[in-house]
Structure 1
Amino acid sequence: MDSTSYTAPGPDAIEEVGRSRGGLQVLLGPLLNYRRMSNVESGEPMWHGSVLIVTTPGQNSPGLTLSPVGAISAEDANATFTVQGGVNSPGEKLYEDADKAFWRFLLELPMQKFESRWEYKINGLEYVDKEMTTKPQTFVVPSVAQSMRIMFHSCNGFSVGTDVEAWSGPALWNDVLRMHAQKPFHVMIGGGDQIYNDSVRVDGPLRPWTDISNPHKRREFPFGEKMRAECDEYYFNNYVKWYGHAPFSTANGQIPQLNIWDDHDIIDGFGSYTDHFMRCPVFRGIGGVAHKYYLLFQHHLAPPKATFTTDAPDTIHPEVEAKPTDPVQTRETFVMADDVEDPSYIIGNKPGPYVEERSRNMFCQLGRRIAFCGLDARTERTRHQINYPDTYKLIFDRLDKEFAANKELKHLILLLGVPIAYPRLQWLENIFASPLIAPIKFLNKRFGFGGSIFNKFDGNVDLLDDLDDHYTAHQHKHERKDLVHMLQNLSKKHSIRITILGGDVHLAAVGRFYSNPKLGISAENDFRYMPNVVSSAITNKPPPQAVANLLARRNKIHHLDHDTDETLLEIFDRDPGKGDKANGASNGNGAANGNGTANGTPIEPKTSAKNHATMPSRNYAIIAESNLPPTPASSTAPPATLAAPTLEPSSASQTPSRATTSAPPDPKGNARKPMHDGEQGAGTAHPAANGLTETGLCGPFGLDVTLRVEITNSDKEGHTDGYGFSVPALEVGEAYADQGSKW
């Protein structure tokens, strides 16, 4: 199928198909999600996930068959599954109206002593789009001794006005699938903006509202049932179009997803405009509509029965727990009402101020030694707040409980919507918010002067909502500091290494918090050492080179407090595809030959010669354990009791497969450069750069991190170059815990 020309089928096509075929008429899917592990303490853990399809209405309950296929490793080819034959999973109807129905299939399977492949098939499935394939889908589950191999992405869509063809559409998903074919991903984590709904205000039902020039009239504009229904149709069709778009759609059915949302899943800047404007009926309304489809498509959960409209103003009220439903919205509509809340969710105590539903944070285990926590940093967000204080307490109480109960956990992957260890831009905020801008704003309101500089919502400078989104924004300064201190306390108490994931900023970078070098602490013993892997965007276009270079120049050594410093690692030793043939460069199909050309076309420079900290090129990240011990099918011994494996060194390094304790950072050294053994040689020459090799650099409990960076946006196959570094596990030790005031 030519996915770039795919559009959602209209109601006439759906009705015609329904009359002419007798099978299960599918509009979209399958979408595969990962939820959690259970029964871990028994040594026989269970993997939990779900599959979602969207069908035409009026279908009989569909069924899914899940079957074991085989082991991934040739060494385990003769291994026997603990289950034989297929397991049937009935479809559960989450939602149905006159146009569509959402069906969920819950999956539960026993994890094996070997890495295993599973197949699922939905019985009687037929696509409305005749060119879509109905073949069974497969996915891979780690062994009981493994942690998951993770793919991380964010900003999976295009901003309004982007020349999609010039950027080859979602080309990097081709690279994701190539990497998955070589060494399967067990989970893919979406860090927000999995879809861009911004065009709802350009060529969608919000266009007449956006065109109102008077801000007061815009704030008072009603969000009636007609507008709600039109927005509902827009958001649904946009999800069907984007989630049915290959190669993203292929990944959706084969790699289990874990997602949080961000502003573009709703609309650009949602939550970060002025409070009196964010509380207007239209923003309250689209917040509810976007939340409905976020739950359905991205979490496979039933939505609330009704969202806010000014025709039925009592449908949503922040202080009311038992919300009345709107009889107009629920007419000829089914919504599952008795769904059991999955224990992987940490639900906020009270609704957010604009998306008037409770936040949905997540905790789950990613295989044997890695835990995951995703913060919902959008539902409770305002211009001056990211999350409620009591939400942080709920999250950290849960984390403390989980780590106290499972001492095998060695890492926490913390997912935030935006980076937290990132250059300060307060000077730019001050310019945009200063009185100097006021005359220009006046001219904009009266005569449209400088129209492209100011947003259409509250009349402020267009970049200001993006800056206000950052943890490093001045109004989030105290909340950011408190969050980092809570993470440090958790890390120290449970000897847990924390690695933070962040997206949003449309470039790649690696930030780090770490102990002030004057304390003389090695990274392996430093609970303050927390890398922030910044991977953005996998699809949207990057910022101009000048912006990335500016950020790199602002890469100072910042002092969070007396004992904690932060800065970006200078990991980008060269532009992708440039220089000698790179370890990790995807040049097998002629995309890049290593000398600065792609398919014979010179590759434009991405950054200045002095910028080694920020990379304005599309990208995604791979995270995996640094050293995976051999786990024979007959063995269930935990990896900590097994001898370290002998790995063949990569072509770029002869580093032995062993973990060492690094020398403490030099107080007079440059913290932007590598500060421990896992960071030495960070970049294209690092053993982790190819995203396939366990480097052994940081022992059996360390992590290898790879940033896969697009070589050129003219390559429709999305070939990438790799930049790697490794993260050591943490061992606080009594000697450091007893240092009193230093800790």
Structure 2
Amino acid sequence: MTDPAKTIGPILYLDHVAGDLVHLAALFIAPRGAAVPPVEAAGALFPAKPLAEYAAATVHRARFALPQGQAEYRWNGQTFALSLDLHGDARLAYVSCNGEEVGDLDREGSERNAMWERLRAEHGKAPFALLMHGGDQVYADEVTQGHPLSDHWPDRLPDPGADLGDLRRHLRERFLERYAALYASPSFAWIAARVPSLMQWDDHDICDGWGSLARRATESEVGQLLFAAAREAFLTFQAAAADGDLPARFADPQGGHLGWTIRAPGLRLLAPDMRSERTRRRIMGPGGWAMMEDEPPLQGDERLVLMSSVPLLGPRLSLLETLMMAVPRMQSYEDDLRDQWQSHSHREEWRRMLGLLVDFGQTGRNVVVVSGEIHLATRAEMPLQGTAKLHQLVASGIAHRPPPRAWARFLGTLAMLGDDPLPGKHIAIRRIPGQVGRYVAQRNYLVLTRQAGAWQAEWEFEISGRSPALAL
């Protein structure tokens, strides 16, 4: 058998929380034929069972449960300490955009993963209970390259009826290659073995602009095969799951959409799926909206944190969208703007989502939305009921290099206009504490802290360091 030292993992995921127990899954990517030792936790052994097969690798998963609080598990002779206390004081980290569109696997590791190393070091000093990944965990834009049926997709499509079996194999192996490379990087691997992850996908986990591209491309045989391969990879590598075997946190056991909810003492994490049912005319479909509208009101001191892979509060991008559609040379950027909640195509849907969050605010408590996607950091506010506020916190990206500062300044200027999608609910883009502009062009991640029942947020910036705390 192959040496288990060559195995990538453990990568730890939060399956669900039930009472005082935290249910976890550990993922391993092993050479095909390798023996993967079991996980030892709470005095019992939990075997690592095959989850997915590839040409030269097998993905294994072990599921186990630990009590909330300080805990540990062992694998292959090593002990991994966890901070699973979700009852009282807690620290949560939020990251997004772990890569770049072109040549990401060729980047020098210490440069690419500098913010992961900073996050790893921070956990060593003050442990995190959870690590939330808000989209674009991988940049899969290049997986279609290298195969004649997908090389020129979405611009050119192969003849209908082409043999797609070899393309399916090609796409699956390319997704494996990308996930394995990212999960093997030392800083990521260290923290991912010690902090359970919760992941929500976005377009680059499939391809740039999935759902906002022309229907002829996404509904083609190649487009549907690409989506199926990306979805399988998401379940395998971002949830340690498979069809018919989803963790209890997922709202639809059949996987028609991949939205999920975690409920812990005083905290509800809600992550609707904004890609599975997406089209050029909608962000979520019937399944996603049913999940959102079936969520019960907040109880007691419960705080809602909503993960929206695309920022929910932003500047009037609809004005920029109108300009781009009027200028032929700029129409190639239309897909990027159609991806946003503020797009003309999604404005009614945007109001619907904001209305649901206003309802949550009827308890008089603030609601927090965390987002990524734009490769910049920013924040925004919208009034709810009484003195309650909707806080939008954007942290993007942890590995994607920022756009030019001129783009950040332009968005800041556009943000001065504000927006009022709901009557009497003015959206204002605010400066992050300690920053001059409304948008910050630095790589970053976000830290949410609950101490003595009070919540606050801090950004860690690559150049300017830690932001002063923002009370939530």
TM-score normalised per structure 1? 0.60
Contact 2:380–2:393 at 8 Å: present in 1 too?
Answer: yes
Contact 1:194–1:265 at 8 Å: present in 2 too?
Answer: yes
The question of 1:489 aligning with 2:359 is answered yes
**Deviation at residue 612 of structure 1 after TM alignment:** 2.1
Partner of 1:622: helix, strand, or coil? strand
The one of 122, 132, 148 aligned to 2:90: 148
**Deviation at residue 267 of structure 1 after TM alignment:** 1.2
Contact 2:341–2:350 at 8 Å: present in 1 too?
Answer: yes
C-alpha separation in 2, matches of 1:224 and 1:266: 18
**Map of 1:510 onto structure 2:** 379
The one of 133, 138, 150 aligned to 1:195: 138
224 and 52 in structure 1: CA distance in 2 versus 1, 3 angstrom threshold = same
Partner of 2:122: helix, strand, or coil? helix
Contact 2:371–2:393 at 8 Å: present in 1 too?
Answer: yes
**Deviation at residue 467 of structure 1 after TM alignment:** 1.0
The question of 1:346 aligning with 2:244 is answered no
**Deviation at residue 196 of structure 1 after TM alignment:** 1.0
**Deviation at residue 146 of structure 1 after TM alignment:** 1.2
The one of 373, 376, 379 aligned to 2:276: 379
**Map of 2:263 onto structure 1:** 365
C-alpha separation in 2, matches of 1:348 and 1:526: 38
The one of 12, 15, 25 aligned to 1:35: 15
C-alpha separation in 2, matches of 1:223 and 1:158: 31
Contact 1:48–1:108 at 8 Å: present in 2 too?
Answer: yes
The question of 1:92 aligning with 2:49 is answered yes
Matched AA of 1:194: Q
The one of 94, 102, 105 aligned to 1:160: 102
**Deviation at residue 262 of structure 1 after TM alignment:** 0.6
Larger radius of gyration between Structure 1 and Structure 2: 1
Matched AA of 2:72: W
31 and 705 in structure 1: CA distance in 2 versus 1, 3 angstrom threshold = same
Contact 2:364–2:387 at 8 Å: present in 1 too?
Answer: no
Contact 1:205–1:231 at 8 Å: present in 2 too?
Answer: no
Contact 2:168–2:225 at 8 Å: present in 1 too?
Answer: yes
The question of 1:412 aligning with 2:304 is answered yes
**Map of 1:105 onto structure 2:** 62
Unaligned runs of 5+ in 1: 1-17, 40-44, 68-85, 124-134, 304-336, 350-356, 441-452, 454-459, 516-520, 575-610, 629-699, 713-719, 728-743
Give every structure 1 segment of 4 or more consecutive aligned residues whose post-TM-superposition deviation is greater than 4 Å. Answer: 215-221
C-alpha separation in 1, matches of 2:455 and 2:368: 9
Q: Which moved more, 1:88-97 or 1:382-391?
A: 88-97
C-alpha separation in 1, matches of 2:47 and 2:5: 17
Partner of 1:136: helix, strand, or coil? strand
Identity %: 22
**Deviation at residue 270 of structure 1 after TM alignment:** 1.2
The one of 232, 243, 253 aligned to 1:292: 232
C-alpha separation in 1, matches of 2:369 and 2:158: 39
Partner of 1:532: helix, strand, or coil? strand
**Deviation at residue 381 of structure 1 after TM alignment:** 0.9
- 1:438-468 deviation per Cα after TM superposition (whole angstroms, max 9, x unaligned): xx5xxxxxxxxxxxx7xxxxxx50x322211
**Map of 1:615 onto structure 2:** 440
Partner of 1:542: helix, strand, or coil? coil
- 1:627-665 deviation per Cα after TM superposition (whole angstroms, max 9, x unaligned): 32xxxxxxxxxxxxxxxxxxxxxxxxxxxxxxxxxxxxx
Partner of 1:471: helix, strand, or coil? coil
**Map of 2:466 onto structure 1:** 721
**Deviation at residue 249 of structure 1 after TM alignment:** 1.7
**Deviation at residue 541 of structure 1 after TM alignment:** 0.9
Q: How many residues align?
A: 470
147 and 154 in structure 1: CA distance in 2 versus 1, 3 angstrom threshold = same
Aligned-pair RMSD on alpha carbons?
2.6
**Deviation at residue 208 of structure 1 after TM alignment:** 6.7
Q: Counterparts of 1:569-648 in structure 2 under 5 Å?
A: 569-574=430-435, 612-625=437-450, 627-628=451-452
- 1:167-186 deviation per Cα after TM superposition (whole angstroms, max 9, x unaligned): 91111011101211111000
121 and 283 in structure 1: CA distance in 2 versus 1, 3 angstrom threshold = same
Structure (1 or 2) with the greater strand fraction: 2
C-alpha separation in 1, matches of 2:149 and 2:221: 15
C-alpha separation in 2, matches of 1:176 and 1:546: 28
Partner of 2:259: helix, strand, or coil? strand
Matched AA of 2:256: R
Contact 1:28–1:55 at 8 Å: present in 2 too?
Answer: yes
- 1:312-348 deviation per Cα after TM superposition (whole angstroms, max 9, x unaligned): xxxxxxxxxxxxxxxxxxxxxxxxx6x4x43211118
243 and 158 in structure 1: CA distance in 2 versus 1, 3 angstrom threshold = same
- 1:247-276 deviation per Cα after TM superposition (whole angstroms, max 9, x unaligned): 112221111100010111111111111222
The question of 1:400 aligning with 2:296 is answered yes
Partner of 1:490: helix, strand, or coil? helix
Q: Which moved more, 1:165-174 or 1:499-508?
A: 165-174
Contact 1:572–1:615 at 8 Å: present in 2 too?
Answer: no
Partner of 1:199: helix, strand, or coil? coil
- 1:572-594 deviation per Cα after TM superposition (whole angstroms, max 9, x unaligned): 544xxxxxxxxxxxxxxxxxxxx
107 and 428 in structure 1: CA distance in 2 versus 1, 3 angstrom threshold = same
The one of 65, 74, 91 aligned to 1:120: 74
**Map of 1:76 onto structure 2:** none
The one of 497, 500, 520 aligned to 2:369: 500
The question of 1:172 aligning with 2:172 is answered no
State the structure with bigger RCO (CA 8 A, min sep 6), 1 or 2.
2
C-alpha separation in 2, matches of 1:541 and 1:359: 30
C-alpha separation in 2, matches of 1:722 and 1:276: 45
**Deviation at residue 107 of structure 1 after TM alignment:** 1.9
**Deviation at residue 35 of structure 1 after TM alignment:** 2.2
Partner of 2:247: helix, strand, or coil? coil
TM-score normalised per structure 2? 0.92
Contact 2:449–2:456 at 8 Å: present in 1 too?
Answer: yes
Contact 2:120–2:188 at 8 Å: present in 1 too?
Answer: no
Contact 2:82–2:194 at 8 Å: present in 1 too?
Answer: yes
The question of 1:423 aligning with 2:315 is answered yes
395 and 231 in structure 1: CA distance in 2 versus 1, 3 angstrom threshold = same
Matched AA of 2:399: T
C-alpha separation in 2, matches of 1:206 and 1:88: 43
C-alpha separation in 1, matches of 2:399 and 2:39: 32
